[in-house]
Amino acid sequence: MLDNYLPVLIFILIGILVGVGPLVLGYFLGPRRPDREKDSPYECGFEAFESARMKFDVRYYLVAILFIIFDLEIAFLFPWAVALEGLGMVGFVAMTLFLGILVVGFIYEWRKGALEWE
Amino acid sequence: MELWTSLPVIVRILLGIVAILLPLLGLVAYYTLAERKIIGYIQVRIGPNRVGFRGLLQPIADAVKLMFKEIVIPTRADKGLFLLAPMIAIAPALAAWAVIPFDAGLVLSDINAGLLYILALTSLGVYGIIIAGWASNSKYALLGAMRSAAQIVSYEIAMGFALVGVLVAAGSLNLGAIVGAQSGSALTWFWLPLLPLFGVYLVSGVAETNRAPFDVAEGESEIVAGFHVEYSGMAFAVFFLAEYANMILIATLTALLFFGGWLSPFPQAWVDGVFLLDDGFHWLLVKVFFFMFVFLWLRATFPRYRYDQIMRLGWKVFIPITIAWILVVGLAVVYKLPPWWAV
CA distance B63 to chain A (A): 10
CB-closest option in B10, B91, B150 to A19:
B91
Q: Is the pTM higher than 0.90?
A: yes
Q: What single DSSP character describes residue B317? A: I
Answer whether B314's CB lies under 8 Å from B155's CB. Answer: yes
- Which of B315, B316, B325, B333 should be substituted to probe chain A, the one whose Cβ sees the most A Cβ atoms within 10 Å? B315
| Record: contact B111-A78, CB cut-off 8 A | no
Give per-residue burial for A60-96: e unless 16+ CB within 10 Å, then b. Answer: eeebeebbeebbebbeebbebbbebbebeeebbeebe
CB-closest option in B25, B67, B149 to A25:
B67
- Average pLDDT score, chain B: 85
Q: Locate the chain A residue with the closest alpha carbon to B116.
A: A78
* pLDDT for the residue B62: 87
Q: Is the ipTM of this complex over 0.85?
A: yes
Contacting residues of B for A102, CB less than 8 Å apart: 323
Answer whether B239's CB lies under 8 Å from B232's CB. Answer: no
Amino acid at B258: F
CB-closest option in A8, A74, A92 to B160:
A74
Residues in CB range of A54: below 8 A, 6 or more apart = B139, B142
Answer whether B159's CB lies under 8 Å from B237's CB. Answer: no
Average pLDDT across each block of 10 residues of chain B; the chain has 343 residues. List them in order. 77 87 91 90 88 85 86 82 89 90 83 86 86 83 84 89 90 88 83 90 89 75 72 86 91 91 80 74 90 91 84 88 90 82 68
| Record: contact B327-A22, CB cut-off 8 A | no
Query: DSSP of chain A, one letter per residue?
Result: -GGGGHHHHHHHHHHHHHHHHHHHHHHHHS-----TTTTSPPSTTSPP-S-SS----HHHHHHHHHHHHHHHHHHHHHHHHHHHHHHHHHHHHHHHHHHHHHHHHHHHHHHHTTT---
pLDDT in tens, B3-35: 777 778 888 888 888 888 899 999 999 999 999
Distance in Å from the first CA to the final CA of chain A? 51
Contacting residues of A for B139, CB less than 8 Å apart: 41, 43, 48, 52, 54
pLDDT in tens, A55-88: 777 888 888 888 888 888 888 888 888 888 888 8
CB-closest option in A32, A63, A82 to B150:
A63
B128 touches chain A (CB under 8 A): no
Distance CA A7, CA B40 (A): 40
Backbone torsion region of residue B83, taken as left when φ is above 0, otherwise alpha when ψ lies between -120 and 50, otherwise beta: alpha
